[in-house]
Amino acid sequence: MSSINETKSNIEIALFEFLKTKTDKSEEEIMKLSKKFLEQIELKLHKSHLPSEILTNLDNVEHNQPIYLKGINFVSLCEHHLLPFTGLVNIAVYPNSKIAGVSKFSELVNILSNNLTLQETLTKNIAIEIQNALDPKGVMVKISANHMCSSLLNIENSQTEFETTYSTGIYEIDHMLRNEAILNF
């Protein structure tokens, strides 16, 4: 048995034993649940592509005004609690000359959110990957999310939406342009 398979088996047994003490489900149900849970976590954390492979620019397309992408859905896992946080990503890109297809931004968000991370880190990583791949005048990313850890641990504030932003280039220094991006989100 490989080391990875042995580790997965040990985790499955530990999860089974833990759930057996916390629930009234049958051992068969708990075993199925343990196996399914670990399969889902493994799928969520699976890396299919490197982020740098995603944002290839479109040939012979130029645009010199801001581009706004609103409402890209994501689900990620909090690195502090191993619980999901979900929300929407909004992106502003002020191109120099390169642009990417709309679906590539969604794919980038999906790949970067398939990780144990913090919302602040996810926000920054999305902006930096776009900046590095397309070399625009600037990028601004805003994420609005609800955190399951907050819902479970602090029931009074369970519907609190957490917002983070990260800017590069012109969006760091031009406050009017930054405000325009915020209004378009």
pLDDT in tens, the chain (185 residues): 577 777 777 877 887 788 778 888 888 887 887 788 877 777 777 777 777 777 776 666 677 889 999 999 999 988 887 888 999 999 999 998 888 888 899 999 999 998 889 999 999 999 999 999 999 999 999 999 998 877 777 766 666 788 999 999 999 999 998 888 988 88
Same domain, 118 and 178: yes
State pTM to two decimals. Answer: 0.82
Same domain, 63 and 30: no
Residue 24's pLDDT is 85
Same domain, 31 and 88: no
Same domain, 83 and 140: yes
**Domain limits at 107?**
52-184
Q: Please name the residues in contact with 110: beta carbons below 8 A apart, sequence gap of 6 or more.
A: 74
Same domain, 62 and 115: yes
Same domain, 147 and 85: yes
Answer whether 100's CB lies under 8 Å from 176's CB.
Answer: no
Q: Where are the beta strands (DSSP E) in the chain?
A: 67-78, 84-94, 116-117, 138-147, 162-169
Residue 58's pLDDT is 63
Same domain, 89 and 23: no
Same domain, 32 and 60: no
Cα of 104 vs its chain's centroid, Å: 14
Residue 115's pLDDT is 86
Same domain, 143 and 113: yes
Tokens of 133: 């791949």
Q: How many domains, the chain? A: 2
Same domain, 40 and 56: no
Strands 84-94 and 67-78: antiparallel
Residue 60's pLDDT is 61
Residue 105 CA to residue 57 CA, distance in Å, equals: 11
Same domain, 85 and 134: yes
Same domain, 101 and 40: no
Residue 116's pLDDT is 87
